[in-house]
A and B are shown apart, each in its own frame.
Chain A
Amino acid sequence: MIMEAVYELLKAVSKEHFMENMVSIPLIQPVIDNLLNIPLVGYVVALILWKPMFALLIFPGLLTLMTVLLFIIWFERKLTARIQWRRGPLEILRWAGGIIQALADGLRYFFQEVIVHRDAHKPYFIQLPILIFIPVLLPLLFIPAGSIVGIKTPYALPVVVAIVSLIPVFIVAIGWASNSRFAYVGTIREAFMYFAYEIPFILSVVAMILVYGTADMTAIVEKQTIPGIILNPVAALVFFISTIMATSRLPFEIPEADQEIAFGPFVEYSGIMFGLVMTIAYEKMYILALLMSVLFLGGGNGFPIPLLGDLAPVIWMFLKTMAVMVALAFLRSIYARFRLDQALRLSWTTMLKISAVAVLIGAALNIAQVA
């Protein structure tokens, strides 16, 4: 009995098991084949190219996340600067236009003192910015790029939406643990905004589930011969506006309004802790952009590139995600900040109505398909 279990385990972590389900890239296949024959290196290469591990480490996981974080913060600053007749980040790595500015800022945060003020709830104050990475990073496992996916399940979409909905709870907890007036006001604003965007957001996702008749993201991508944004543009609009609200970007940068409440829930953080909480919004933006590209833009669909094999959907999906993120970054230089009550009125009336319309369109399409 035990021997059988050990045998199963060994089989599960064996190189052959990894090689059964491997990312195939015809362009560099000879190199990979050579590497696989080297004893230890071969094992590591097989592990990395094993599709679930590839999803975790390369795309949409760690490596892409880091690249996107570096790029989008730089790009947002550079774009805003260009619109505002400035130059933006330039001095660090001058020949590349200061593209590693975010990395330099991160390093600076590392060497700054982390101040924990007297009134803070110390354990929560220190733990929560790290714990929040669980709901922020977990959805990446469920998002497919072609055949590359971390965990393949028919309930991927509800799981991702549920986990993403957990993030504001952590932010509210952060504000509570900070125990400061500005953090308190910011926390209340965050809670209000959370309720306001959550219902239209979920309704737009439900509309798309109705359109495709499934919640399995791989199947959703396969069904999109016509992209979802054309099938149900109303749902796409609601999803986009909810994304702006959820990532608290202008014009809905209400919980963190720095001129009013000085970064709201995050006001008391300093050093690397601030670096961590600052990137949360960008990571959430990345996940929602991935979700948007899966639901509305056809995910990894695109014309196949034979030389790249399984990597082609990855590239298509990356490009679509970046397009969504760039559109989100562009908003910062156009809009002023709405007031909390104005944002709430917008989401509880107009957005709720049009999200109901989106669900109706989805239901109609669903009935049409069944018939």
Chain B
Amino acid sequence: MSEREGEREMLLDVPVEPPVEMFLPIPRRFLEDAYRNDDYIVLVGPQHPGSGHMRIILRIKGDIIVEAIPDPGYVHRSMEKLAENRLYIQNIPLMERPAIMDTGNVTLGYVRAIEQALGIEVPERAKYIRTVLAELSRIGTHLYDAGILAVFLGHTTGFMWPFALREPVIEAMTRISGTRITSSFIIPGGIRRDVPWETLEFVRRVTYVLERRLKGFEKIFIKNPSVIARLKDVGVLSKQEAIKFGVVGPFLRASGVEYDVRRVEPYEAYDSLNWDVPVADEGDSYSRFLVRVEEIFQSLSIIRQAINELRSIPEGNVISPDVLDGYEEASSDIRGYFYRVFGNLVLPYGEYTSLTEASRGTLLYSIISDGESNVPYRVRVVTPGWYYLKGFMESLRGERLADLQAIYGSFGYFPPEADR
């Protein structure tokens, strides 16, 4: 036997058997029943080009979906547990991770719960800038969802244009906060830095660019006959059903329920601005999409109004003096104030809840504090995706298999957001 024997390439013939026992979160009875009735069980996802990181277990009779069972949790990141081991201020970047574009609204909800606990009143200028940031996030998210809907329908131009339109929005957010997407700009008591006038003027010009470009998008995608054919009268949720299944946000409004947290419990600057709540009556996929398109135009109007208001508010005061707690040099001590002010933030004993209208619907934060440690005892986050998952699954019932993608896109379901 030569010395080189050991170095020779060897063929390892290891028989690889596919796993026989697979876990499906459905009872055995369901499978047997489907088999007896000549139904077909189709697993869509979790690695499917059309479904994202979620599995949908479909029971199909011919081409019609009899029952849809979701199997979420593939991108669960245990945010609530992680939040229990971090300082209150460190939780802000954590909370904005699940929703890619929705940073403004997601941080706003968490920060408002803290402000509620501490009883802080936010300065006027910070309120308006927060509103601008939240609405920019809303536009970004709706454009993102429109792109995903388009690619689900096989319309590649409808996918590329909103993603390109998202760029000016992201650029505006970059000029405001310094980061493209996860800005962590909203902090308890205000915002991190004041926004200079030139930046606000840029944001105002961005709104006009978007409005002009959206007209072209309307021609090629929104009013396209093949798109209307795919979305109209598909996945209908009636008003009663939408309420019963706990659907939230634009999807609830598409079923004819006029409920918007911004209107019902106004926060920040929403009650001093003039805007409409878009509502549709049909409750089908197309109206769910149209409501969000209309919301983009409302958001553009809100941003313009907020920037006009900001003209008359003097620059400088963007953090509440209550939270600074007498630390006068905060405005000059850019590197140090964050640690000094927020490093040892302790909330009083109790439970504090905030409701926010995030882009995809109602967002609930509930912070429980034990009153003595500088980390939360428990943070409960319920994202809109989790709220409307039930409604999404119910609306699939009785539709065709090919409609799954259209309904999925019309809900803008985003697994990382729902799984948290």
In the complex, are the beta carbons of B226 and A337 less than 8 A apart?
yes
Contact residue among A260, A338, A340 (Cβ-Cβ distance under 8 Å from B405): A260
Contact partners of B404 in chain A: CB under 8 A: 260
In the complex, are the beta carbons of B50 and A259 less than 8 A apart?
yes
Contact partners of A83 in chain B: CB under 8 A: 157
In the complex, are the beta carbons of A253 and B220 less than 8 A apart?
no
Kindly state whether residue A185 has any CB partner on chain B within 8 Å. Answer: yes
Question: Which of the four size classes fits the interface of chain A?
Answer: 20 to 34
In the complex, are the beta carbons of A340 and B161 less than 8 A apart?
no
Kindly state whether residue B156 has any CB partner on chain A within 8 Å. Answer: yes
Kindly state whether residue B276 has any CB partner on chain A within 8 Å. Answer: no
Query: Known interface pairs A181-B42, A342-B229. Does A336 touch B158 (Cβ–Cβ under 8 Å)?
Result: yes
Contact partners of A260 in chain B: CB under 8 A: 50, 401-402, 404-405
Query: Known interface pairs A259-B154, A260-B402. Does A85 touch B160 (Cβ–Cβ under 8 Å)?
Result: yes
Kindly state whether residue A334 has any CB partner on chain B within 8 Å. Answer: yes
Contact residue among A80, A332, A334 (Cβ-Cβ distance under 8 Å from B220): A334
Contact partners of A259 in chain B: CB under 8 A: 49-50, 151-154, 405
Kindly state whether residue B63 has any CB partner on chain A within 8 Å. Answer: yes
Kindly state whether residue B26 has any CB partner on chain A within 8 Å. Answer: no
- B146-175 toward A: CB 8 Å interface, digit per residue (1/0)? 000011111111101100100000000000
Kindly state whether residue A335 has any CB partner on chain B within 8 Å. Answer: yes
- B391-418 toward A: CB 8 Å interface, digit per residue (1/0)? 0000000001111110000000000000
- A241-261 toward B: CB 8 Å interface, digit per residue (1/0)? 000000000110110011110
Residue among B151, B153, B154, B156 with the most chain A CB within 10 A? B154
Contact partners of B157 in chain A: CB under 8 A: 80, 83-84, 333-334
Query: Bound complex: CA of A97 vs CA of B64, how far in Å?
Result: 46
Report the minimal beta-carbon distance from A24 to chain B, rounded to whole angstroms: 46
Kindly state whether residue B227 has any CB partner on chain A within 8 Å. Answer: yes
Contact residue among B49, B150, B164, B402 (Cβ-Cβ distance under 8 Å from A258): B49
Contact partners of B156 in chain A: CB under 8 A: 80, 84, 332-333
Query: Known interface pairs A260-B404, A262-B49. Does A84 touch B154 (Cβ–Cβ under 8 Å)?
Result: no
Report the minimal beta-carbon distance from B130 to chain A, rounded to whole angstroms: 32
> Can you list 13 A-B pairs, Cβ within 8 angstroms, ordered by A?
A84-B156, A84-B164, A85-B164, A185-B401, A251-B226, A257-B154, A259-B49, A260-B50, A260-B402, A334-B224, A336-B154, A336-B158, A336-B221
- A224-255 toward B: CB 8 Å interface, digit per residue (1/0)? 00000000000000000000000000110110
Query: Bound complex: CA of A80 vs CA of B227, how far in Å?
Result: 18
Kindly state whether residue B77 has any CB partner on chain A within 8 Å. Answer: no
Report the minimal beta-carbon distance from B16 to chain A, rounded to whole angstroms: 10
Query: Known interface pairs A84-B160, A260-B50. Does A336 touch B150 (Cβ–Cβ under 8 Å)?
Result: yes
Query: Bound complex: CA of A258 vs CA of B75, how far in Å?
Result: 23
Kindly state whether residue B263 has any CB partner on chain A within 8 Å. Answer: no
Residues A313-350 near B (CB distance < 8 A)? 332-342
Kindly state whether residue B48 has any CB partner on chain A within 8 Å. Answer: yes
Query: Bound complex: CA of A205 vs CA of B150, how far in Å?
Result: 35
Contact partners of A332 in chain B: CB under 8 A: 156
In the complex, are the beta carbons of A339 and B49 less than 8 A apart?
no
In the complex, are the beta carbons of A336 and B230 less than 8 A apart?
yes
Query: Bound complex: CA of A185 vs CA of B220, how far in Å?
Result: 30
Closest to A118 in B: B18
Contact residue among B50, B161, B230 (Cβ-Cβ distance under 8 Å from A338): B230
Query: Bound complex: CA of A251 vs CA of B228, how far in Å?
Result: 13
- B138-151 toward A: CB 8 Å interface, digit per residue (1/0)? 00000000000011
Closest to A188 in B: B63
Closest to B231 in A: A336
Report the minimal beta-carbon distance from A254 to chain B, rounded to whole angstroms: 8
Closest to A254 in B: B402
In the complex, are the beta carbons of A337 and B153 less than 8 A apart?
yes
Contact partners of B221 in chain A: CB under 8 A: 336
Query: Bound complex: CA of A257 vs CA of B400, how far in Å?
Result: 14
Contact partners of A341 in chain B: CB under 8 A: 63, 400
Report the minimal beta-carbon distance from A268 to chain B, rounded to whole angstroms: 15
Known: A83-B157, A260-B404. 18 other contacts (CB 8 A): A84-B161, A85-B161, A181-B42, A251-B226, A258-B154, A259-B151, A259-B405, A260-B401, A260-B402, A260-B405, A333-B157, A336-B150, A336-B158, A336-B224, A338-B226, A338-B229, A339-B403, A340-B400
Contact partners of B229 in chain A: CB under 8 A: 338-339, 342
Contact partners of B48 in chain A: CB under 8 A: 262
Kindly state whether residue A86 has any CB partner on chain B within 8 Å. Answer: yes
Query: Known interface pairs A257-B154, A340-B63. Does A86 touch B226 (Cβ–Cβ under 8 Å)?
Result: no
Closest to B159 in A: A84
Query: Known interface pairs A80-B156, A85-B160, A260-B50. Does A335 touch B224 (Cβ–Cβ under 8 Å)?
Result: yes
Contact partners of B402 in chain A: CB under 8 A: 254, 257, 260, 339-340
Report the minimal beta-carbon distance from A344 to chain B, rounded to whole angstroms: 11
Closest to B40 in A: A181
Report the minimal beta-carbon distance from B302 to chain A, rounded to whole angstroms: 27
Contact partners of B154 in chain A: CB under 8 A: 250-251, 253, 257-259, 336-337
In the complex, are the beta carbons of A335 and B230 less than 8 A apart?
no
Residues B169-206 near A (CB distance < 8 A)? none
Query: Bound complex: CA of A86 vs CA of B227, how far in Å?
Result: 23
Query: Known interface pairs A260-B50, A262-B48. Does A336 touch B227 (Cβ–Cβ under 8 Å)?
Result: yes
Query: Known interface pairs A85-B164, A86-B160, A253-B154. Does A337 touch B49 (Cβ–Cβ under 8 Å)?
Result: no
In the complex, are the beta carbons of B153 and A336 less than 8 A apart?
yes
Contact partners of A334 in chain B: CB under 8 A: 157, 220, 224
Closest to A342 in B: B229
Closest to A257 in B: B154
Residues B34-60 near A (CB distance < 8 A)? 42, 48-50
Instruction: Kindly list the 8 A-B residue pairs having the minimum CB-CB distance in the complex, ordered from nearest.
Output: A337-B154, A84-B160, A336-B155, A336-B153, A259-B50, A336-B226, A333-B157, A251-B226
Contact partners of B400 in chain A: CB under 8 A: 339-341
Query: Bound complex: CA of A26 vs CA of B323, how far in Å?
Result: 92
Contact partners of B401 in chain A: CB under 8 A: 185, 260
- A117-157 toward B: CB 8 Å interface, digit per residue (1/0)? 00000000000000000000000000000000000000000
Report the minimal beta-carbon distance from A75 to chain B, rounded to whole angstroms: 16
Contact partners of A84 in chain B: CB under 8 A: 156-157, 160-161, 164
